[in-house]
Structure 1
Amino acid sequence: MGIDARDRRNPHGGFSGGSMERPALVRLLADVQAGKIDIVIVYKVDRLTRSLNDFARIVDVFDAAGVSFVSVTQQFNTTTSMGRLTLNVLLSFAQFEREVIAERVRDKIAQSKAKGMWMGGPVPLGYDVIDRKLVPNAAEGATVVHIFQSYLALPSVMALMEQLKADGVVTKKQVMRDGSIRGGLPFVRGPLYHLLSNPIYIGQIRHRDRIHEGQHTAIIDRDLWEAVQAKRRSAIGSRRDRGNGGHASLLTGMIRDHADRPMSPSHAVKSGRRYRYYVSSTTGPAIEQSPCLRLPAPQLEESVINAIAGHLANAHTIAGLAQVDARMIQQRIHAADALRSILSAGRKKDVREALQAMNLLLEVRIDGIAASISRRRLVAMLDGVAPDNMDDGVRISIDIPTVPDQRGHNLKLVLASEGAGQRKVDRDLVALLRKAEAARQQLFTQAHAAHDRSTERIARLAFLAPDIVTAILDGRQPSELTCRKLMKMAAIPMDWKAQREALGFD
């Protein structure tokens, strides 16, 4: 008979009783499964776990291995219904106690930070900890000031990162309790962004979304801090717009106003949020006679893409592009579906290239928007032929619904989500379908390799009915069908009719 008492001295302090990732518990369960233990004895049941769900899993392991469980100070017999009820009651109180203690700790931290006290964690560059208080480090403080000043002098955080690397500036070195050293590495983007936005350097303490006056001395003066934050706010959104390597504004070079002036991308920043627009050029002789127009870029881009995608979804329109046989028409319809998928859920770079290849032209008028694409270019794209630069002048009109506002010189776009019969493609759902197809191919091509469960779960979605996939690509799926719902479904029926019923298509 073996008795496991290795948790008695708690060699792994700091691990919560609400977790099963405690080293000693992991070893205990491994020994139980290996048949090395006959009985597990604890002082109290909450020494094993303080979670009802975790205890149920542990008991399953014990039962499978034929191991008994005894609590020295608590009398219960798990072989009877009353004993199991007693055990569940004890565990419920243990879990409640753990949660109450956690709430008290969180409240204590919040109250202490509200008083400006530093409550531990990684020591920021520029400070040392003496008697549990932050005290400025003169040498490191000079480095922090240098970083803030250099950011104002350089064009971006990336340039600042390269400059600090060349100067040999590294993150703060800290000696841990076990003697290991953390830090002392060149700065990368994440730590730099955190440093530049950390209010601790102006004598404040952040707790979640609140800022409190701290009890420590500031390193950065207010003027320098505000200048740095203003520069950071002005750059908000630029990285997001360039995130996939695409053009920030899809329609640049394709849009002109009623006075034949190019409409260029512009932006404004309000309350830390970036708003993009297309604005008429303010130069040229027509500026005095014709009012300038300004349209919100995201809404305009969405309306244009949805309108072209809707045009490509019309099989009769595709069939009427040119006189060809039925087989060629079918090929063009399939190619139009693929092109529509790129417009609806592709990367910005791919969407812009597709619009340019179709020679999209937009004219913004006082009473609406005239849009058109080249028929010759579109046919070449659908036939898989590289479109040349020639245009026979025959263009396909695309309807972009708009209504003028009360002043008569600005336009208010009717969004796709507001228009009758129009729907918005859920890009997350489309991306999930792409991941599912990639996962399916991975499972088939690497049949003998080990795969994680997430790959297998996602691969199931590659077997959805074709009409369900088409509806998702068109944005015609039920409003309650989301990525979360698909991923949470325990089993998706293989029968297509059952799929439609389960996902709300019938």
Structure 2
Amino acid sequence: MAGKLYDETGGRLTPSHASKSGKRYRYCISQRLLARAANDAGTGWRLLAEQLERDLGRAVRKHLMGSVEGGGIATTDAGSIVSLCSRTAALGTEVLELIASLQLGDGTITIKLAPVEMAKALRIDPKSIASNVLSFERPFAQRRRGVESRLTIGVAKAARDDILTANIARAEQWRSALYNGDDLKTIATREGITVKYLGEMLPFAFLSPKLVRAILDGRQPSVLTTNWLRRHGLPLSWAEQDRILAQL
């Protein structure tokens, strides 16, 4: 994918690598991160290449299969459709060679295909490929771990969870009431809930500011719901919260 991947600023991502515990990892890194420009410090992309390539390959194959079945690639008969679908499904890592360019956006990645390479791989006439087949978008979910990001293509980023947001606000009110001298039973009676339920929900008031901001923006892990927090809980340490959430 060297020279094909661009970020939302139009900057190209450059292949790089690093070794950890004797294992070599490949990355795609924004040029502005490599340059360490003063006005861009801490911004940019550092993507794990192996997962990105795997997800891109899956996305392209699925798009091509849908294009064949939907008539975006002209075929003469049903037998040709079956044969073309079989060739598409059989594409391995060479499917990445069909990609002309990749553009990262706000929660989406635009994938443009090279018609000549595509025709060669599928053994078809380039003229049989409809123009709308050559460019498509897919949503992605992003998970940051330090400076490293992982993209899961085909999965939309989490929407804001209004129930979780409301429960955090309620827990903050209950925490304030405790600080002002109310006991658990008094609060539970006033709210019409049990003391047990109150005890399960109060930890919502001790989430880190970083996590609360992510929840308000809809950037939390998709598994992080009110029910998950009630069942599993999170430690009071904000650093420990970050460590656990990075594994979700």
- How does the TM-score come out when normalised to structure 1? 0.25
State the structure with more CA Rg: 1
Which structure carries more strand by proportion? Answer: 2
Report which structure shows greater RCO (CA 8 Å, sep ≥6): 2
